[in-house]
Structure 1
Amino acid sequence: MDYKEKDFIQLLNQNQKIIHKVCNLYMNWQEDKEDLFQEITLQAWKAYSQFRGEAKFSTWLYRVALNTAITFFRKDKKNAFIDTVSEMPELTVPMDRDPIEDKTKAMYEAIAALSKIDKAIVMLYLEDYSYAEISEIIGITANNIAVKMNRIKVKLREATLKNFERI
């Protein structure tokens, strides 16, 4: 194993939580998460020779992971992504419900219904990345991120209220 491989493995081990977050955000089933994890790792390794260190490795890895997740199932029509959140059966909730837990569930349902790009922006925003950092990862201007984030907040507010009323 040469130094390039050792560096990559070390950096990947230090930042693998990023890949897990992306996999959990975009996939619902464990098997799909594992497949996506492997695909992201492979794509990161293929692109590692082009990593110049101008950005942090974590920022670069987020970009690779998100791009891979967004295009993962487009490559193979047999594995077309199905948003299974809307297909999940209604869960029976006990009578002593926790309103905070209900609001949290409603928010997660609203996030799950967002487009893939909007999910990525929300995830990075919740990770406390600045608009400039999100811009660098997603590949659109910081101003565009700010506009999208404002629109996403409105969508989430409306969808969360709607989902919460349903719960």
Structure 2
Amino acid sequence: MDHSLEHSFVDLLGKHQNIVHKVCRLYTNNQDAHNDLFQEITIQLWKAFPKFRGESKFSTWMYRVALNTAITLYRKSTRTLNTQEFDSIQYKIEAEPYDDTEEQQLKLLYDAVHQLNDIEKALVFLYLEDKNYAEISDTLGISEVNARVKMNRVKTKLKTILNP
């Protein structure tokens, strides 16, 4: 095993693991499922890492792999997840403390987002991560025009969910 490759991967994952945690929170409803999805995304990132050529930013590539893994594993028809063991490295990130009002607003937003379909969730996630439409389209593999149209539809859908 190439230790420099492993070191690079561990370093980059450590710096950007919040991306994976956010994707996990978006596509799961409990801590066990979050942990399972985090593990599976980490495995997929490790498997794909040797092919990462730096043609895009590492974080953009990480978003793409994480979202594709989550979407593939959490289709509405199946909520079960078969994971592989990945014991050599464990990553944890402490949640930032929120005041009660902010936490309630976040919970309402996440509850609303959980009602969206998989692609809509990814759009909202990237939008909330302050990604521009070029980055969103690149990450999701759709045109910028399509990303804008879909995002406008999602905003309308979220308004309906949050203000029935």
Deviations 1:52-93 (A, max 9, x none): 10110000000000000011246xx5827xxxxxxxxxxxxx
User: Hey, what does 2:30 align to over in structure 1?
Assistant: 29
Contact kept, 8 Å, 1:124 with 1:134, in 2: the verdict is: yes
The answer to whether residue 122 in structure 2 is matched with residue 131 in structure 1 is no
CA distance in 2, matches of 1:147, 1:108: 22
Counterpart AA for 2:143: T
Contact kept, 8 Å, 1:23 with 1:37, in 2: the verdict is: yes
Contact kept, 8 Å, 1:40 with 1:65, in 2: the verdict is: yes
Counterpart AA for 1:131: Y
CA distance in 2, matches of 1:106, 1:31: 21
Contact kept, 8 Å, 1:131 with 1:146, in 2: the verdict is: yes
CA distance in 2, matches of 1:39, 1:104: 25
Identity in percent? 53
User: Hey, what does 1:93 align to over in structure 2?
Assistant: none
TM-score of the superposition, structure 1-length normalised?
Answer: 0.78
Q: Which is further off, 62-71 or 99-108? A: 99-108
Q: How many residues align?
A: 144
Contact kept, 8 Å, 1:103 with 1:160, in 2: the verdict is: no
How far apart are residue 109 of structure 1 and its match? 2.6
How big is the alpha-carbon RMSD for the aligned residues of Structure 1 and Structure 2? 2.4
Rate the CA distance shift 1:36–1:107 in 2: closer, same or farther, 3 A.
closer
The answer to whether residue 120 in structure 2 is matched with residue 118 in structure 1 is yes
Q: Which has the larger radius of gyration?
A: 1
Rate the CA distance shift 1:105–1:79 in 2: closer, same or farther, 3 A.
closer
Gaps of 5+ in 1: 81-97, 163-167
User: Hey, what does 1:84 align to over in structure 2?
Assistant: none
Contact kept, 8 Å, 1:63 with 1:138, in 2: the verdict is: yes
Contact kept, 8 Å, 1:44 with 1:61, in 2: the verdict is: yes
TM-score of the superposition, structure 2-length normalised?
Answer: 0.79
